[in-house]
Amino acid sequence: MKILIVYHSYYNNNTKKVALTFNEIANGKLINLNRDKDCNLNLDDYELIGLGSGVYKESLSPTIFKLINKLDFTNKNVFVFSTSGVGLRFYNKSLIKALKARGAKVRGDFACKGSFVAKDFSDNRIFDIIGRLSMGHPNDKDLKKAKKFMRKLLESL
């Protein structure tokens, strides 16, 4: 199966670690939007497409949304992933919705914590606490879960 994993990971490479781990199982093509923002993608070449990023101010990367708005996902199998301070799948929802609106079949989504330093983006004390809890993530356990997710996804197709 031909697999493409596209990600935007500009802060700490947290999402990049997850993408690379997925690809240990998927053996597909990886595109890092940090390097290749204007990549010319032909989705016809792929049977499964993964899209992911870090969460920046409550949202996945605008670069990912900009990219998908240029593409036709009709009947394409896709999955979504993210890393964030809180590590919740909740943040994946808006990308899932946008992909469905473009005709994609969303086969699953994955999320885990990604370390950050609160003062890099907020003075709010709550982020101090969340930041401390996120230290060391994604860790071995997160990456093991990422592999399990990918194995299950591939089995289901």
Ligand X SMILES: Cc1cc2nc3c(=O)[nH]c(=O)nc-3n(C[C@H](O)[C@H](O)[C@H](O)COP(=O)(O)O)c2cc1C
92 binds ligand X (CB under 6 A): no
> Minimum distance between the CB of residue 62 and ligand X, rounded to whole angstroms?
12
> Minimum distance between the CB of residue 151 and ligand X, rounded to whole angstroms?
22
Stretch in the footprint of ligand X (CB under 6 A) among 23-31, 56-64, 66-74, 141-149: 56-64
For ligand X, the binding residue among 23, 94, 105, 121 (CB under 6 A) is 121
54 binds ligand X (CB under 6 A): yes
110 binds ligand X (CB under 6 A): no
Q: Which is nearer to ligand X, 107 or 113 (CB)?
A: 113
The region, left, alpha or beta by phi > 0 then psi within -120 to 50, assigned to residue 108 is left
> Minimum distance between the CB of residue 47 and ligand X, rounded to whole angstroms?
26
